[in-house]
Amino acid sequence: MTRLTDELDRYLTIRRSLGYDLRTSARVLRRFIAFAESQGAEHVSTDLFQRWQASFGQAGRQTWAARLGIVRLFGAWLHGLDPAHEAPPRGLIPSHARRPRPYIYSDEEIASIVNAAAELPSVYGLRGQTYSTLFGLIAVTGLRISEALGLDAGDVDLEVGVLTVRRGKLGKSRLVPIDGSVTQRLRAYANERDRLLAFAPQPFFVNDQGARVSDCGARYNFALVSQRLGLRPPQRYGRHGRGPRIHDLRHSFAVRTIIGWYRQGQDPAREMIKLTTYLGHASPENTYWYIEATPELLELASQRITGPSDVEASL
């Protein structure tokens, strides 16, 4: 048995332990490793993948794009163990757009976003109150921006500390428990909002006129804050620019939660269904994606299976 075969077996064991069905991936990777062995290759590389593709026979572009994704993920895993390995580049075979890797905000960046949003100017001062509270709520609950904006005053139970999401993805509703500190912040916002408007609006998050904050307005103000903090490059004419997004606050919440499980010695397989429900994902696979997309989580998952000594010995 070759070293590549050994590493493949370990890779498949780790990912299966996280709940993945890897029948297709295992089949593709074993064919790829068999080709590598026939070529006498000891390391994965772009050239090796291209030679495998040329010798494999005819297949559609989408099929090869899928195979590239499978080999690329395995190559990235191997590269983390031995830099001599190479993950084939993402765009080697053009395909449909892929899910972007999330940007994981640090605690300091999140605090800066909330503080900078509080300084957004407006006639009555409600703009800063609204956006600092909105961005902070997403960061500590992982709500989608549409779910947070869709909250009505009656959906925010400040006595019990529960949010009722009625406009979740695919029309699903769910209850989201919140911490006491979050409840206090939401209560402070609601009181100040009602005082500035001189009435209690139906939507929870509102603009200076008392109307529900729009998705466009939230993204525009988030872009302004991000540019001021250097998270996005400055833009002219009110353009948003490119860089970390509001949705990455949700990603950051999920990743910090999972990292906490590993560091506290909890079993991610048992906890994952809770996070899946809390985030309103359609299936656990959508939540497991965070482990693949975040190098630190992949490393923690590896250590959980192999033990720190095994990982260190392989570096």
Indicate which residues carry an active-site annotation.
Answer: 144, 169, 247, 250, 281, 290
For the range 109-115, what are the long-range contacts, defined as Cβ-Cβ under 8 Å and sequence gap of 24 or more? 109/229, 109/231, 110/136, 110/139, 110/249, 110/252, 112/229, 113/139, 113/222, 113/225, 113/226, 113/229, 113/231, 113/249, 114/139
* Helix residue spans in 99-232 (DSSP H): 107-118, 126-141, 145-149, 180-197, 215-229
Q: Where are the beta strands (DSSP E) in 65-178?
A: 156-157, 162-165, 174-177
Q: Which residues contact 165 (CB under 8 A, 6 or more apart)?
A: 143, 147, 150, 151, 155, 173, 174, 175, 176, 280
**280-312: buried (b, 16+ CB within 10 Å) or exposed (e) per residue?**
bbeebeebbebbbbbeebbebbbbbbbeeeeee
Give the strand order in the sheet containing 174-177: 156-157, 162-165, 174-177
Closest to 64 (Cα-Cα) out of 34, 97, 93: 93
Closest to 286 (Cα-Cα) out of 275, 297, 296, 271: 275
Distance CA 103, CA 127 (A): 26
User: Amino acid letter at 47?
Assistant: D
Local structure of 304: helix, strand or coil: helix
